[in-house]
Amino acid sequence: MNVESQESWTGLLPTLCPETQPFWDACNQNKFIVQKCQACGNPQYHYRAFCCHCWSEAVEDRAIEGTGTVWTFSVVNRNLTPAFASWGRYVVGVVEVPEGVKIVTKIETPDPDSVRIGTPVRLAFARAENGQNIPFFRTVS
């Protein structure tokens, strides 16, 4: 694992529940979990207590390497929700990771207009005020 140093997270915070607690706890160790089913071999994201593909409970928590590419994205010029007021123009997207899943995420970039489908990105974390680490992806310069 080689994630970038932490910055602060502004915006909405996740609501945790017992089922998803392990994912968010792993984030606090700078790890992003994509589960792999030991029964059917398929990966899954988001986190669940079982494999959604075959309903086996034999799912293994695996930290991803942290690389990926932009599968699609949108530069958001307008989000009136107050929690995002400080974000300015920002990029939401779907990142495809070599572990085999698509991940909805924020794509941090110095230049929103430079993002393209296929742009390489890397996992990063930001720390929220409540101490929770939030994962996102950053364009590779």
Partner 1 sequence: MTGIQKLSNVAAIVGAYEHPTRYAPDKSEWQLLGEASRGAILDAGLSKDHIDALFVPATASEGGYLGTCASVMAADYLNLNPKFIEETDIGGASLGYYVNRAIAGIHAGLFKCALIAYGANTRSRKINVGTVSYNQLSQVELLPIPDSFEQIYGTTVISFMGMLTQRYMHDYGVTSEQLAAVAVTFRQHANLNPDAARRDLISIEDVINSPIIASPLHRLDCCIVSDGAGAIIVADKDIVKESAKQPVWIRGFGESIMHHGGGLTDWSEETRAMVKRACDQAYQMSGTTSADMDVAQIYDAFSYNAVIDLEGAGFCGPGEGAAFSADGNLRLEDGSIPTNTDGGGLSSNHPGRRGIFLFIEAVRQLRGEATGRQVKDAKVALCTATGAAFLARRGSAAHILGV
# residues near partner 1 by CB under 8 A: 48
Residue with Cβ nearer partner 1 (26 or 34) = 34
Sign of CA dihedral 85, 88, 94, 98: negative
Residue 28 as a binder of partner 1 (CB under 8 A): the answer is no
Residue 66 as a binder of partner 1 (CB under 8 A): the answer is no
Q: What angle do CA 71, 99, 87 make, to 5 degrees?
A: 45
Q: What angle do CA 102, 5, 106 make, to 5 degrees?
A: 30
Residue 68 as a binder of partner 1 (CB under 8 A): the answer is no
Nearest to 31 by CA among 70, 67, 60, 65: 65
Residue 84 as a binder of partner 1 (CB under 8 A): the answer is yes
Task: Decide: residue 50, CB within 10 A, 0-12 exposed, 13-18 middle, 19+ buried.
Answer: middle
Please choose, out of 7-15, 25-33, 60-68, the segment that lies near partner 1 by the rule CB under 8 A.
7-15
Residue 129 as a binder of partner 1 (CB under 8 A): the answer is no
In the complex, the residues that contact partner 1 under the rule CB under 8 A are 11-17, 19-20, 34, 42-48, 51-53, 71-81, 83-84, 87, 90, 92-94, 100-106, 117, 134, 136
